[in-house]
Amino acid sequence: MKIAFNEATTLHNSILKEDLELCEKHGYDYIEVRLDKLKEYLTEHTTDDLKAFFDNSHLKPYAFNALEFITFRDEAGYQQIKDDLQFLCEVGDVVNCKKIVVVPTFDIGDYTRSQIKEETVSVLRELADLAEPYGVKLAFEFVGYPTCSVHSFGDAYEIVTETNRENVGVVLDCFHFHAMKSSIEDLKKADPDKVFIFHIDDCEDLPPGALRDHHRVWPGEGAIDLDAILSTLKEIGYSEMVSIELFRPEYWEWEADRTIRVGKETTEKAVSKYFAVDQRV
C-alpha cells in the first residue's frame, strides 16, 4: 500500500513548496494537494514548475483536495465550483493528477433524505461529465458531522452507486466513518474499485455527533477501531493507497518537518499490520 500526505495536516505551518520537499525527504509516495495551497503556490510559480518537481521526484500527486459544499449552492456559488473544477482539471492535466475530492454541503437544513440524494446525484453527474474529458475522477467524501447532508459511508456509497459514473467513487475517511457510527457491514459490501481515496486518522473518545475535525489525533493514539477498517479493506481487496489527514491545531504549531515525519511513522505503523508498505526514507 502506498502512503500519501494530505496537506490539511500542515494547514497553517507550511506552504505547498515546503510540503513537497518534506514529503520527498520523508519517503512519501503521494501527496494530496490542497486547492488553497495550490493557488498560493501559483502566485509565484507555474504549473510547469510543479510538473518539473514531480518529474524529478519519487513523490507524485494523487489528488486535489477539495471542492467543498458542492450541493445546494446558489448560482454564483455553483459556478465557482465548476470554475475550480476546470482549473484543477487543467492543472492536473499538466502534472498528471487525476483525482479531485468533492464534499457535500454541511448544512442539512430542512432538506429531506430524498431531496439530498436527488440533488447530490444530479450535481455529481454534471461535475463528472465536466471532468471526464480530462480523465479525472471525483472522490465523494461524506463528513461525519450530524449537520452534514451526507454523513455516513452507507449513504455516500448509495449516492455514488446511483450516480452511476465510472469516474465517481467515495472517500473513506476513518474519522468520518467513526464519528457518526458508519456500518462496517456497509464497507464489507463495497466494491474496492469504488474506494478512490482512503484517509487514515484517529480521534479522541467523544460520543457520536460530538466529534469535530480538531479532535483528530495520530493513527493508533485514539478511539477509532482502525483494525476493523484496515482488516475489512484487506478482506474486500483494497490496497491502493492511504493518506494521513488531520486538522489538529496542536500539530499545526509544530515544525512542518516534524509533523510530516510523525505522520509517515504513525501511518506506517498502523497500516503495516495488514499491508506491505515501502518504508523508504
Residue type, 72: F
In DSSP terms, 31 is beta-bridged to 5, 61
Q: What is the pLDDT along the chain (281 residues), one digit of tens a residue?
A: 999 999 999 999 999 999 999 999 999 999 999 999 999 999 999 999 999 999 999 999 999 999 999 999 999 999 999 999 999 999 999 999 999 999 999 988 899 999 999 999 999 999 999 999 999 999 999 999 999 999 999 999 999 999 999 999 999 999 999 999 999 999 999 999 999 999 999 999 999 999 999 999 999 999 999 999 999 999 999 999 999 999 999 999 999 999 999 999 999 999 999 999 976 66
Residue 50's nearest CA partner among 93, 104, 1, 12 is: 93
Looking at residue 5, its pLDDT comes to 98
Q: CA distances (Å), 129 to each of 125, 134, 138, in order?
A: 6, 10, 10
Give me the helices (H) in the chain, please: 16-25, 35-41, 47-55, 75-95, 113-131, 153-163, 174-179, 184-188, 226-236, 249-252, 256-271
The DSSP H or E segment spanning 200 is: strand 195-200
Neighbours of 257 (CB within 10 A): 16
